[in-house]
Amino acid sequence: MGKKLGQEVESSIEWKDDGLISAYMENFPEKHRYPKKTFFDKSIEFICILVCVCVCQAVPAGSHVRLNLQTGQREVRLGEEQLKYWTQNHRCGPRVTPDSYRLGAAAYTREANQILEERIPKIQTLDRQDMAQLELLVETDFQIMKRLLEQLNSSGSTVEQKLSVLLELEYLVHQVDNAQSLCTMGGLELILQGLNSSDVRLQESSAFVLGSALSGNPVVQVKVVESGALQTLLTLLATSKPLKVKKKVLFALASLLRHFPYAQRQILSHGGLQVLSELFRADEGGVLRTRIVTMLYDMISEKVHKTERVRQYAAVSLQAELLEKGWCILVPQLLESTEHDDREKALHALLVMAPVCLEQYRLNSSLLGSLLSLRDQYQGMVQTEMVLGEEHGYFAEILELIDALQVQVK
């Protein structure tokens, strides 16, 4: 009576007790009863009553239902006519007790299980013959490689089919066991046939497969050297081939030489450094130069740090060959590149070659001038890095390499 409803309704709505709630609430158990009031909207002359309906009680269609956050009860807003009909024709049904709920749940579970047993067929086990008929057999890597090699060796396979086979093989031979299986299954001979093919696409893909199989796999490295593939790779580099073929051949050659002193000694005896130096000079774009210098750096650094293989590496006269073949003059040319990565790899190689090439470094005015100009350039870059909060950034590392080389040259 005059009390505002608050944020529930607009200010024109007032609370009103019309006595209808009492009759309605008598239908509910005592625990569900709590004080209720009606409110009256003067502007539209419509009486509404806010009542609580038991959880087991249905409500008229179109009713406004809300959840009272203070009491946790669900409430429905009914009009006067709806209330009269509701109180005369509806009563709250029987209360649901924990025991009745458990009994109902058990009965429902039994019925559901019976339906499942009737409608869902029993699971049957399948043997290999059944799986083969359903095309569900899963091939092992060995079986896949055997099938691929048969396709590669088939005279009826087109070049496109062989290229597709080589692509799948390249993916498989990254696994050490698969690469070794490739050799035992006679796949290495087929790969070498691809290297000797007249189709440059087959040469490129075959070299890619060979390099992937050789990576970090000593067993395959030995097999490849014994097969005479080293001479084939050097021949491909020495002859006129497309750039993409030579890139893959260099990848295979680097994988063969890495951590394998015997192969390194073989490449020296077969004139490999001479082939690489001619390739370095002919590569005007610089794409192959970086790969060659990186490969030489890896070979030299292995010899310095792999103390457990001192005897094997002692037989590899790599540094003397580098001096004889003119690499002390060739590697500094890579500093003229505009790529920071190329310069970094050239500096690393120049530092490990310094014990042999130091005198030629001092006589190389182009090298000394490049070091001075590069030092000025990278000093500015290092200052920019420091402004950005990078005290030991990438350009700072390159500057340290330049300083270390200048110290040795002086």
Q: Give the total number of structural domains in the chain.
A: 1
H or E element at residue 64: strand 64-67
pTM exceeding the 0.85 threshold for the entire prediction? no
Task: Reduce the DSSP state of residue 136 to 3 states and report it.
Answer: coil
Residue 57 forms part of a structural domain: no
Residue 322 forms part of a structural domain: no
Any bridge partners for residue 41, and if so which?
A: 13, 46
Of 29, 43, 35, the residue nearest 17 (C-alpha): 35
Residue 4 forms part of a structural domain: no
Residue 311 forms part of a structural domain: no
The CATH number that applies at residue 171 is 1.25.10.10
Residue 226 forms part of a structural domain: yes
Its domain, for residue 180, covers 155-258
In tens digits, the chain (410 residues) has pLDDT values of 444 333 343 333 333 444 444 444 444 445 444 444 444 343 333 333 444 444 445 666 767 777 778 777 777 766 655 555 455 445 444 555 666 656 666 776 777 777 766 666 655 666 666 666 655 557 789 999 999 999 999 989 999 999 999 999 999 999 999 999 999 999 999 999 999 999 999 999 999 999 999 999 999 999 999 999 999 999 999 999 999 999 999 999 999 999 898 999 999 999 999 999 999 999 877 889 999 999 999 888 886 655 555 656 665 677 778 888 899 999 999 999 999 999 999 999 999 899 889 999 999 999 999 999 999 999 999 988 888 887 788 899 999 999 999 998 88
How far from 77 is each of 29, 50, 225, CA to CA, in Å?
19, 5, 90
Residue 233 forms part of a structural domain: yes
Residue 217 forms part of a structural domain: yes
The answer to whether 169 and 187 are in contact (CB under 8 A) is: yes
Residue 208 forms part of a structural domain: yes
Query: Which residues, in sequence order, are CB contacts of 94 under 8 Å at separation 6+?
Result: 56
| Rounded distance between C-alpha atoms, residue 39 and residue 17, angstroms | 8
